[in-house]
Amino acid sequence: MSQKAASSTVPITVTEIEAIAKTRLPKNVYDYYSCGADEEKARDRNVYMLDRLLITPRVMVDVTHIDTSTTTFGKRHPFPVAFAPSAMQRLCHPRGEIETAEAAASIGLSMTLSSQSTTSLEDVAKACNISKPDGPDFWFQLYLTQDPEYSLKLIKRAEKAGYTGLILTVDTPVLGNRINERKTPLVLPEGMNLENYDRPKGERKPAKERIFLNAHTVEEANEIVKESGPTMHSSSLTWEHTIPWLRKATSMKIILKGIMTAEDAKLAVQHGADAIVVSNHGGRQLDLVPATIEVLPAIAGAVSGRIPVIFDGGVRRGSDVFKAIALGADLVLIGRPVLWGLSYDGKKGVEAICNILERELSRTMALAGVRSIKEITKDSLGIAKWNGFGISKL
């Protein structure tokens, strides 16, 4: 086969890599990662509303040199993207989270390890030497449990291993109504476990959250909660108690993931969060909520630069990153695209996803007439009118 013919088979967009991943993953695994809650309208709206935003390019600007780099918490990144927490990555590749972490470290991006990872937080940390002063900036994601002491053990382990940020998921007092998961429950295969939890190796019982998800009546759901024990997600997080408790528990940065209103963004600043993530959990929690890009401008305005605003939801192109930055994000998380890259070709596949997004962002900036991340503002965007022809300025 000629070099030209061979190169034509290499995927050049995130969408193409997802299509390949779909053919390689078992159907129940692909469906688990791709599905949203209820009718999946929130998941689809994340993508749809990004598409409604249009870039209004300026010309006659010297764009010989494009600088896509940014800095978050004192760490420089080659472009404003980081990896969102995604559970059970060994379902996508035998080395799972290790391959993802190695890809993040090789490029210089931050990665958030899911507490529900199939590789222990210590093994991921060791693989990338995150405890070294010049090591990559990795964060750890957590669901607080009904018994906070159970969560405290995980927090202490993560800090000891070298993670610098604690991403607390605040939008999951209970699991959203994920119909696909209810009809086709995902069970880890033999030899694969949630390595951060104190569960017997090889135990195939579903977690209490999954049992709760399948409750058919409110009475049944309430009984499950009563009998759930200390490891079920806490449904009693509060501004007054949760963040102060975390401050006493760790010196890691405290980042709240799941902020969807300006009111909660202000409360996050008021109560001392170090950063927030504007997120609707990829549409996997409450359906029929706004797209994250819709609420981003109001949230960024409420924060007013006091803490970093991180964004996720529906990002599939470098131009999506551009749009999020224009509307006030300091950093953009990608979740499902990382999983598609991991399924496609492990570490190399994840690196391919990053290279695609970075190249697309750089090209978008040049064609839009902006030379650095700081120059990307809402003046570069318009929105397609609901009725009629043309666009409206934001």
Q: Which of 62-76, 170-184, 202-216, 371-385 has the lowest mean pLDDT?
A: 202-216
Confidence band (pLDDT; 50, 70, 90) for 201? low
Would you state the pLDDT for residue 23?
97
- The per-residue pLDDT for range 325-340, each reduced to its tens digit, is 999 999 999 999 999 9
Give per-residue burial for 173-209: e unless 16+ CB within 10 Å, then b: eebbbbbbbeeeebeeeeebbbbbbeeeeeeeeebbb
| 373: CB partners within 8 A, 6+ apart | 67, 68, 69, 70, 80, 325
What is the 3-state secondary structure of 285-313? Answer: CCCCCCCHHHHHHHHHHHHCCCCCEEECC
Question: Is 87 labeled as ligand-binding?
Answer: yes
- Tell me the domains of the chain and their CATH numbers: 11-178+233-393 (3.20.20.70)
What would the pLDDT profile of 36-48 be if each residue is shown by its tens digit? 999 999 999 999 9
- DSSP 8-state secondary structure symbol assigned to residue 61: -
Check whether 306 is labelled as a binding-site residue: no
Burial class of residue 133 in the structure, from the number of CB atoms within 10 Å of its CB (0-12 exposed, 13-18 middle, 19+ buried): exposed
Alpha-carbon distance of 14 to 139, in angstroms, equals 24
Residue 79 has pLDDT above 60, yes or no: yes
User: Per the annotation, does 336 bind a ligand?
Assistant: yes
- Residue in 77, 93, 233, 281 annotated catalytic: 281
Q: What letter would DSSP give residue 49?
A: H
User: Is the model more confident about 124 or about 182?
Assistant: 124
Answer with the residue of higher pLDDT: 185 or 45: 45
Predicted confidence (pLDDT) per residue in 207-256, tens digit: 667 777 777 888 887 777 766 667 778 888 999 999 999 999 999 999 99
- Is 24 assigned a ligand-binding role in the annotation? no
pLDDT at 244: 96
pTM score: 0.94
Q: Which residue did the predictor score with more confidence, 162 or 198?
A: 162
Catalytic residue check, 93: no
114 assigned ligand-binding residue: yes
Q: Which amino acid is at 313?
A: G
